[in-house]
Amino acid sequence: MDAKAFDVSTESTPKELLIADDSIVYDAIVVGAGVIGPCIATSLARKGKNVLIIEKSWAMPERIVGELMQPGGVRALRSLGMVQAINNIDAFPVTGYTVFYNDQKVDIPYPYKADIAPLEKIEGLVKDGNDQVLEDKNLHVKDYEEDERERGVAFVHGRFLDNLRKITMSETNVTCLQGNCIEILRNEKNEVIGTKVEIEGRGKISFKADLTFICDGIFSHFRKELSTTHIPKVESSFIGMALFHADIPAPMHGHVILGSDHLPIILYQISSVETRILCAYNSKKVPSNIKEWMIKNVQPFIPKSLRAAFDLALIDNKFKSLPNSYLPSVPNTVPGMCVIGDAMNMRHPLTGGGMTVGLSDVVLFVKMFGDMDFSDRSKITLEMEKFHQDKRSYDSVINTLSISLYSLFAAENDNLKALQKGCFKYFQRGGNCVNVPIKFLSGTLPNPLLLSKTFFAVVLYAIITNIQEHGVKGLPITLLQAISILLTACKVFTPYLYREWAN
């Protein structure tokens, strides 16, 4: 790594992170160095832009978000020439999903490469093989580059983020700054012209840029600069634990554990020794006694092979929680500013699509704007509308799928329970009943119309299954139930797809 990729693991802040030049006008300022910020900064730098990226702390974070990347996200990293960020961090390959329902299960492998659109490599970003996965302890070149199916990857979030940041730091056109961004600056025309940053030893310093990117994530302080009504909706949570040396039922698969008597449980291996388990909780406020809740509502439904590791994690008593937020995107209409990533747009984490959406947005942005002059704000603002329109194809699929699947899998009433059972039985049919849905889940099929068709095919199958189970004698009741099930399905799908396209 270039000498510029300095060590930030020490207690004191490296001086290189405090000396950004405030006397120049940058082409771009990036606020936030989570997953999206470094990718934007690196991509623009490789396009010849002079970039300042600001982060409150460049030390490796500890988070339970952003730990499973779907194939769509891996493909986006390839397009940006940054896929090697997944290497040498003890990341673990993901080849598909296994869905458990009561005492049954079905395996759903990721799609064949031949069945999805070819990978696009962005000129100026992809070079010297940086779109290819490297060989390391867990990730093998043959598997990722030569296998007939797509692959995802799971990792400890902080290690992956640290690698992304090192790639960014090595770019000569990028200046990295550690400081607390406290204000978005505007001129007399109400255009964004930069940001004010509080820096250790320097105080409050203003930095100017032609275009300012807001990438400050889930708990964004600055999405309100776009609109005061752009506020996430939070109705549920995930409670997480780390399992160590767990006996995984389906190695290299994400696990979705469903049942008629419990909320969804998500499980995936993130390193050679660590597995993440996320347990759904239908409230934004987690239980006061998490351990007691886990023992009563989760432990009985854990597969036998996982119980030893699960019980040890309970004894360890180290729980983390995260809110499940939903926020449809709106157009970037403020001249001089682009809100992107989770600051702009969020969905339920059940399907692990967050990084795929954010990285795909970066790919589209760089393709559309990478060679443009950012000082031409009127032109940039005009093109932002097209950016918003174009990105909705894949955003809406992943976002709507996440909300509707959670509703089915959480199954809070009899209609949703019927849909949950029908969905599982639909998967059991195999063929296109799994091949098409996994393309949506993996982020490789951005087709909202086909998603709608597939979702209601599942609904119809659930209705038929319910009628068959009750027989001819129960037909009058099941026909009434069919109408009720259909209305429920419309309620958990249609409004969200509409919101994705209404703005």
Asked if 175 and 225 sit in the same domain, the reply is yes
Asked if 407 and 497 sit in the same domain, the reply is yes
Residue 365 lies in a domain: yes
Question: pTM (2 decimals)?
Answer: 0.95
Q: What is the mean pLDDT of residues 421-436?
A: 97
Burial 238-270 (b: 16+ CB within 10 A, else e): bbbbbbeebebbbebbbbbbbbeebbbbbbbbb
Q: 18 - beta bridge partners?
A: none
Residue 314 lies in a domain: no
Q: Which two tokens stand for residue 183?
A: 């204000």
Number of folded domains in the chain? 2
Q: What is the mean pLDDT of residues 190-219?
A: 97
Asked if 496 and 402 sit in the same domain, the reply is yes
355-400 tens-digit pLDDT: 999 999 999 999 999 999 999 999 999 999 999 999 999 999 999 9
Q: What is the mean pLDDT of residues 463-473?
A: 89
212-265 tens-digit pLDDT: 999 999 999 999 999 999 999 998 999 999 999 999 999 999 999 999 899 999
Q: What is the mean pLDDT of residues 138-153?
A: 98
Asked if 383 and 488 sit in the same domain, the reply is no
Q: Is the pLDDT of residue 11 over 80?
A: no
Q: Is the pLDDT of residue 6 over 70?
A: no
E strands of 191-259, at which residues?
192-199, 203-214, 233-244, 253-259
469-497 tens-digit pLDDT: 988 777 889 899 999 999 999 999 999 99
Q: What is the mean pLDDT of residues 324-338?
A: 96
Predicted confidence at residue 10, as pLDDT, reads 60
88-129 tens-digit pLDDT: 999 999 999 999 999 899 999 999 999 999 999 999 999 999
Residue 295 lies in a domain: no
Residue 137 lies in a domain: no
Predicted confidence at residue 46, as pLDDT, reads 98
Asked if 341 and 472 sit in the same domain, the reply is no
Which of 340, 372, 392 is a domain's end point? 392
Residue 19 lies in a domain: yes
Residue 129 lies in a domain: no
272-283 tens-digit pLDDT: 999 999 999 999
Query: For residue 54, which of 24, 20, 77, 27 has the smallest C-alpha distance?
Result: 20
Asked if 369 and 419 sit in the same domain, the reply is no
Asked if 493 and 440 sit in the same domain, the reply is yes
Residue 310 lies in a domain: no
Asked if 431 and 470 sit in the same domain, the reply is yes
pLDDT category of residue 1 using cuts at 50, 70 and 90: very low
Which of 371, 392, 413 is a domain's end point? 392
Q: Is the pLDDT of residue 44 over 80?
A: yes
Asked if 442 and 425 sit in the same domain, the reply is yes
Q: Which two tokens stand for residue 188?
A: 């007399």
Residue 139 lies in a domain: no
Asked if 337 and 486 sit in the same domain, the reply is no
Q: Is the pLDDT of residue 9 over 90?
A: no
CATH number at residue 342: 3.50.50.60
DSSP string, 94-119: E-EEEEEETTEEEEEEPPBGGGSPPP
Q: Exposed, middle or buried: residue 312 (CB in 10 Å: 0-12, 13-18, 19+)?
A: middle
Asked if 418 and 465 sit in the same domain, the reply is yes
Which of 343, 366, 392 is a domain's end point? 392
Range of the domain at 205: 15-62+160-230+327-392
Asked if 335 and 216 sit in the same domain, the reply is yes
